[in-house]
């Protein structure tokens, strides 16, 4: 017995010796910083272009980052408490450069490898930077810029929709987009093709008031609106919307509603256009007014893609990271759109007057300037019908009352 134990002990000691020898023979890192990146502090894009650009060319700074130097600094102050200050091997990448890397990737739509090469950083380093910074951007901006309206904020939105888009009792437009996610040959991540489902609502000024983002397998049926977080709250009437109020010049009280396209269900608080081809004049009038106001959410998505071009192609990350990227783009969009609202009409740079589509009194579409920077193959695609919920009698009556209102003197479009 003792001999057997001695033999077993000898084998264990020999195994430990072999493991120790193998670990010593492992290839050591040839360098802490790859030679092409060694001169990053002198020849990297952050030093050569970004720093001089801040003071020399404000317009170029806006085109490069999608925001002014002043807004960049404001964002930097907001994210600073949320970001860990790690070192990259022997040299640090300071917070300002990390934010620059992230914003440049989001605004340009360039790959991680391309941005890494221009900033003279490793691809894995850029990947970690983007992951952390996108999460920090959402955390820093969500409460102030992307939180769901409450109380009198709903009423303010409804007043804006009536004043700007001539649709009463409207607390927002809703639409959804399917965002493709795929693996990339130059990405440090390798994932199967999937998609992100994005439900969103907006106010009358092209600002998102709600985003509901989830990642699903392409064949997963959970895209159904009624089981999404926002959809379930809307259908179950737990959004705390204002009480029904009378339409202008009328005593009939109608609920506050969101406007959706034909893919959405007709509900007490959610209007969709009349379907079919044999519509009467009143139904056609309603559909025109509905479609006219619904352009706000369509343009909101269009502006988002035009400004943050990473959304104009399949996102080459794991779905979980892709969700953080989309959320960061939405938070940045809202921050800049809110700041724009404080400027004069001609002083607005993020959403200038001619950027969005508009309709003339004759009904003719006036295309917005957003169409020039956005390709025809945008990655934000309409996934089709999202619910088969049957309409209630109350919902049908609400839409019919709106239809009749648009035929009254108070409901006509101003000439």
For the domain that residue 136 is a member of, what is the CATH number?
Answer: 1.10.472
Question: Would you say residue 311 lies in a domain?
Answer: yes
Do 188 and 251 have their domain in common?
yes
Cα–Cα distance measured from residue 242 to residue 258, given in angstroms and rounded to the nearest whole number: 12
Per-residue pLDDT of the chain (415 residues; tens, 9 = 90+): 566 666 556 655 666 655 565 555 555 555 455 555 555 555 778 888 888 888 888 889 999 999 999 999 999 999 999 987 655 445 678 999 999 999 999 999 999 999 998 998 989 899 999 999 999 999 999 999 999 999 999 999 999 999 999 999 999 999 988 888 876 544 444 445 578 888 899 999 999 999 988 765 444 444 467 777 888 888 888 999 999 999 988 888 899 999 999 989 899 999 999 998 899 999 999 999 999 999 999 999 999 999 999 998 889 888 889 999 999 999 999 999 999 887 777 778 898 887 777 666 655 667 777 666 555 456 776 666 555 567 889 999 999 999 999 999 999 988 7
Do 276 and 397 have their domain in common?
yes
Q: Collect all residues with Cβ–Cβ distance below 8 Å to 241 and sequence separation of at least 6.
A: 154, 171, 255, 256, 269
Residue 18 pLDDT: 59
DSSP helix/strand/coil, 333: helix
Q: How far is CA 294 from CA 231, 271, 316, 405, in A?
A: 18, 11, 31, 18
Cα–Cα distance measured from residue 102 to residue 67, given in angstroms and rounded to the nearest whole number: 13
Residue 186 pLDDT: 45
Residue 381, H or E segment: strand 380-381
Question: Would you say residue 29 lies in a domain?
Answer: no
Do 255 and 121 have their domain in common?
no
Do 119 and 222 have their domain in common?
no
Do 263 and 179 have their domain in common?
yes
Domain interval for residue 91: 41-144
Question: Would you say residue 303 lies in a domain?
Answer: yes
| CB neighbourhood size of 133 (10 A) | 25
pTM of the model as a whole: 0.83
Which of 120, 144, 168 lies at the terminal end of a domain, its last residue? 144
Do 132 and 213 have their domain in common?
no
Question: Would you say residue 413 lies in a domain?
Answer: no
Residue closest to 204 by CA, chosen among 275, 310, 292: 292
Do 106 and 178 have their domain in common?
no
Question: Would you say residue 13 lies in a domain?
Answer: no
Do 117 and 217 have their domain in common?
no
Which of 124, 144, 164 lies at the terminal end of a domain, its last residue? 144
Question: Would you say residue 328 lies in a domain?
Answer: yes
Do 351 and 280 have their domain in common?
yes
Do 239 and 98 have their domain in common?
no
Rounded to 5 degrees, φ, ψ at 234 are: -65, -50
Question: Would you say residue 28 lies in a domain?
Answer: no
Residue 213, H or E segment: strand 208-216
DSSP helix/strand/coil, 374: coil
Q: How many domains does the chain have?
A: 2
Which of 144, 160, 176 lies at the terminal end of a domain, its last residue? 144
Question: Would you say residue 7 lies in a domain?
Answer: no
Do 60 and 194 have their domain in common?
no
Q: Collect all residues with Cβ–Cβ distance below 8 Å to 185 and sequence separation of at least 6.
A: none
Q: Which DSSP category does 315 fall into?
A: B
Q: How far is CA 86 from CA 92, 209, 403, in A?
A: 7, 34, 60
């Amino acid at each position: 017995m003792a001999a057997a134990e001695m033999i077993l002990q000898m084998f264990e000691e020999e195994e430990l010796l072999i493991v120790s020898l193998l670990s010593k023979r492992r290839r050591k890192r040839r360098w802490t910083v790859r030679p092409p990146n060694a001169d990053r502090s002198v020849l990297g894009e952050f030093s050569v272009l970004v720093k001089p650009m801040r003071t020399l060319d404000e317009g170029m700074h806006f085109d490069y980052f999608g925001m002014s130097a002043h807004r960049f600094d404001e964002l930097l102050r907001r994210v600073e408490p949320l970001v860990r200050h790690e070192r990259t091997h022997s040299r640090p990448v300071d917070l300002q450069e990390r934010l620059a890397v992230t914003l440049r990737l989001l605004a340009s739509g360039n790959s991680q490898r391309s941005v890494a090469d221009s900033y003279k950083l490793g691809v894995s380093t850029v990947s970690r930077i983007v992951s952390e910074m996108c999460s920090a951007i959402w955390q820093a901006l969500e409460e102030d810029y992307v939180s769901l309206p409450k109380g009198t904020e709903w009423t303010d939105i409804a007043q804006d929709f009536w004043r700007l888009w001539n649709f009463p009792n409207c607390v927002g437009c809703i639409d959804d987009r399917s965002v493709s996610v795929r693996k990339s040959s130059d990405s440090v991540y390798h994932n199967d093709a999937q998609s992100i489902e994005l439900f969103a609502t907006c106010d009358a000024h092209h600002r998102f008031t709600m985003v509901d983002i989830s990642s699903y397998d392409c064949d997963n049926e959970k895209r159904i609106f009624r089981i999404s977080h926002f959809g379930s709250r809307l259908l179950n009437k737990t959004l705390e919307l204002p009480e029904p109020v009378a339409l202008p010049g009328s005593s009939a009280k109608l609920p506050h509603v969101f406007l959706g396209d034909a893919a959405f269900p007709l509900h007490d608080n959610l209007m969709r256009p009349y379907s079919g081809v044999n519509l009467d004049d009143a139904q056609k009038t309603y559909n025109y007014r509905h479609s006219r106001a619904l352009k706000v959410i369509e343009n909101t998505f269009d502006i988002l893609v035009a400004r943050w071009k990473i959304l104009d192609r399949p996102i080459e990350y794991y779905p979980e990271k892709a969700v953080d990227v989309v959320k960061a783009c939405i938070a940045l969009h809202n921050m800049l759109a809110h700041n724009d609202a404080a400027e004069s009409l001609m002083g607005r740079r993020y959403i200038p007057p001619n950027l969005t589509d508009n309709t003339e009194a004759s009904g003719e579409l006036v295309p917005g300037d957003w169409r020039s920077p956005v390709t025809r193959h945008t990655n934000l695609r309409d996934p089709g019908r999202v619910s088969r919920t049957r309409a209630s009698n109350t919902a049908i009556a609400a839409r019919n009352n709106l239809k009749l209102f648009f035929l009254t003197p108070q409901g006509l479009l101003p000439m």
